Amino acid sequence: MSKLPLVARIVLGLVFFVFGLNGFLHFIPLPPPEGEGAKAMLTGFMASGYFLPLLAATQVISGALLLSGRFVPLALTLLAPVIVQIILFHAFLAPAPGAWPIPIVVLVCEIYLARVYRNAFAALLSVRAEPAA
């Protein structure tokens, strides 16, 4: 069991590092989006000019942090909204049954690692935080 956090961290790091690099280098061909909602969302992201590069950079940096084992809670925090969007995209805009394995693995790894590193999040979840003196 002691190696499970390492395995989850490496899996999550690899997924985001590789797919983030793919956002810049395009070495994994992605199928065109199916469904009007998915097409509209991705078209809007592309039209913004900044969103997809920002997303890819966030994924590369967070993936590298997870792979290195440094600033893991920060990487998990940066990836949380990305993972929520991935799950919601597949649930509502592109609900193809074959597209679920990677999002489920990513979600499970994120939740597991957030639990493992829960002490690092304690200050963020305090009801009444006080400013530093």
DSSP 19: H
Candidates 115, 116, 91; CA nearest to 103 is 91
User: Is the CB of residue 81 less than 8 Å from the CB of residue 59?
Assistant: no
pLDDT for position 1: 61
Dihedral, CA of residue 98, residue 104, residue 105 and residue 107, to nearest 10: 150
pTM score, two decimals?
0.91
* Cβ within 8 Å of residue 59, ≥6 positions away: 16, 17, 19, 20, 23, 79, 82
Domain edges within the chain: 4-121
Closest CA to 107 of 2, 4, 15, 3: 15
- For the chain, where are the E strands, in sequence order? none
Q: State pLDDT tens for residues 14-55.
A: 999 999 999 999 999 988 888 899 999 999 999 999 999 999
pLDDT in tens, 82-133: 999 999 999 998 877 788 899 999 999 999 999 999 999 988 888 888 888 8
Instruction: Find where tokens 């009801």 sit.
Output: 127
